[in-house]
Amino acid sequence: MSPSTSATPPLPERFRGAAVIGGTHGLGRALARTARDRGLHTVVYGRTAETLSDDGLHPRHLDLCDPHSVRDTPVDVPSPCYVLWVAGAFLKKTLADTTEDEVEQLTRLMFTGPVLFLRRLLAAVEEPVHLITVASSSAWKRRERESLYCGLKAAQATIVRNLVPELRAAHPENRITLINPGGLAVPDFHTGLALDFGAMMDPDHVARIIWDIAADQRRTFTEVQILRSREPGSEGTPEVSYGARTPQAPEEPGTATAPPAPTPHP
């Protein structure tokens, strides 16, 4: 389908607020600004949230790698509300070359920290919640030297899918949107990599698509892929499709070795 890009922001209906976990950079910041522009009281959680003080947003310091910060940061947000799980960082290394500290910090930032904080936030909000989770196409694509990053993104997508019956039982109006985006033009996310950001998706454009999808969602759960076009002349244009994807085989296409023929019984 063609991605929706509404020219006039729709009214937030009965939702009053948005809480963005990881809204200080890249797609998270674009999602927070779009929420603000759509009339939502937008609370932004992040390690450098104070830099957003002049943005019309409501910053709260949260360090997902610090258990004390995860446990003590306030979770009172305007409700009913959208809750966005966007926090993440990229790592391109073989697992053998990854340090113990890198494993621990990336896991806290991308999985255990958000899960523990989300646990507190969901328990505190009594009115309907619409959880928008930004995972990644790396959760199902074949990658090289990204095993830890891909594994954490797959874990994020899996826990959110399995939250669906819990949230549905908690309130019939609760919703979950799982977004798996492809490559975004966020240079400070891909630090040290020589990439053609001109052929990657604009985070502001993708943020508007995500909000349009969430605003139109009526089912309890929707999973969406937002991948970048590689067609000449359209490089980086977002392409939207619905539903989960089967994980790709780890081998390069065409290199998989056929299994040996079974030995006949005498």
CA distances from 114 to 65, 85, 137, 178 (A): 9, 7, 19, 15
| Mean pLDDT to the nearest integer, 61-79 | 96
Residue ranges and CATH numbers for the domains of the chain are: 17-242 (3.40.50.720)
pLDDT score recorded for residue 218: 92
pLDDT value at 7 more than 70:
no
**Tens digits of residue pLDDT in 173-223:** 999 999 999 989 887 755 556 566 678 899 999 999 999 999 999 999 999
Cβ atoms 12, 75 nearer than 8 A: no
pLDDT cut 70: percent of the chain above it? 85
Chain Cα centroid distance, residue 23? 11
Say yes or no to pLDDT of 133 above 50. Answer: yes
Question: Is the per-residue pLDDT at 264 higher than 50?
Answer: no
What is the reported pLDDT for 56?
87
pLDDT in tens, 144-171: 999 999 999 999 999 999 999 999 999 9
pLDDT of res. 156: 97
pLDDT of 245 over the 90 cut: yes
In the predicted model, what is the mean pLDDT of the chain? 88
